[in-house]
Amino acid sequence: MAEDVEDASTDRPLLALLIRLGGMAGIATMAALIKLASEAGVHVAEIIFWRQFISIPLLLAFVLATGGIGMLKTQRPKAHFVRAGYGFVGMLLNFGGVILLPLAEATTMSFTAPIWAVILSTMLLGEKVGWWRWSAVVAGFLGIIIIAQPGGHAIPLGGAAAALGGAFMVALISIQIRDLSRTDKAISIVFWFATFSTLCVLPFLPFTMAAQTWQTYAILAGIGLSGTVGQLLITLALRYGKVSSVVVMDYSSLIWATLYGWLFFAVLPGTSTWLGAPLVVVAGIIIAWRERVVSKKRFVDQRQSIGT
């Protein structure tokens, strides 16, 4: 997660929402292409490699066109490498969830990241969480139970476990990014993640990489392009709006996932998903709203403390 932008002179909420909407469309497109690549026989390690490797020159072109190579400066390469290691595991789980589950279900599972973040914030950061957020956590997991139907096998439980594990890693990584954001720009964090995670996957390639058709290479290129553009748009949205304001657009990816699932794979979400997904989405929105309320209260308290 990138830093929240506080400069009121750049606050353009409608533009931020539209940009974030485009970013989520890019991420949803990447997920659909990942599933297509897997069905074409591409190993998940090779998919991760192309996703990250292709983004490096694209990110370099972006920084050279906007602010110069100095935007990538960092004094914390070890922290970036640790973040890349966690991110590699997260991608392995998230991509595995996309491959093993229908797109809509995999996307819904990814919405549990804010729920995991609440739990981790209490365990790792000692943050006090009130009944609003704990109620959202309970509602979110109830939604997951409805979707997965343990024992009923509405969806593959292995895929559900991978997707939930990926969401957990996203929440864990968000704490790392929050720390890195104190010293490094958002684009720097994205760039070094792409670079170091590419290095992480290299040892696996001799055992997994194979020659592909030109159509499959086009899909792999599309994964790198759509993922990078989506990530940049998500980051750019924070220049014009606050995280707590634009995060609601993230749930639009469920619409794209449902559409792609129908167009490319002739699959529509089952009844359990239609019943459980709203609980997960509402839980995430409540958590985002409550965090905004708490942060505003904390800001007011700090101003009053300084005033006295």
pLDDT tens-digit readout, 20-50: 899 999 999 999 999 999 999 999 999 999 9
pLDDT of residue 115: 86
Each residue's pLDDT tens digit, 166-188: 999 988 888 888 788 888 888 88
How far apart, in whole angstroms, are the C-alpha atoms of residue 164 and residue 158?
A: 10
> How confident is residue 3, by pLDDT bands cut at 50, 70 and 90?
very low
The percent of residues above 70 in pLDDT, for the chain, comes to 89
Distance between alpha carbon 153 and the CA centroid of its chain, in Å?
A: 26
User: Where are the chain's structural domains?
Assistant: 8-307
Per-residue tokens: 103 = 């797109």
pTM: 0.84
Instruction: Please check the confidence at residue 5 and state whether its pLDDT lies above 50.
Output: no
User: Which H helix or E strand runs over 295?
Assistant: helix 271-307
Burial of residue 211 (CB within 10 Å: 0-12, 13-18, 19+) is exposed
Torsions phi, psi for 83 (to 5 deg): -60, -40
pLDDT in tens, 145-158: 888 876 666 678 88
Q: List the helix and strand counts (H, then E) for the chain.
A: 13, 0
Q: Which conformational region is residue 67 in: left (phi greater than 0), alpha (psi within -120 to 50 degrees), or beta?
A: alpha
Q: Which DSSP category does 5 fall into? A: P
- Express each pLDDT in 216-269 by its tens digit: 999 999 999 999 998 888 877 877 777 666 777 888 999 999 999 999 999 988
pLDDT computed for residue 8 by the predictor: 47
The rounded distance, in Å, linking the Cα atoms of 177 and 186 is 9
- Average pLDDT in the chain: 85
pLDDT above 90 (res 271): no
Under the banding of pLDDT at 50, 70 and 90, the label for residue 9 is very low
Q: Using CA of residue 88, residue 90, residue 93, residue 94, what is the dihedral sign?
A: negative
The yes-or-no verdict on residue 205 having pLDDT over 50 is yes
pLDDT for 6 = 43
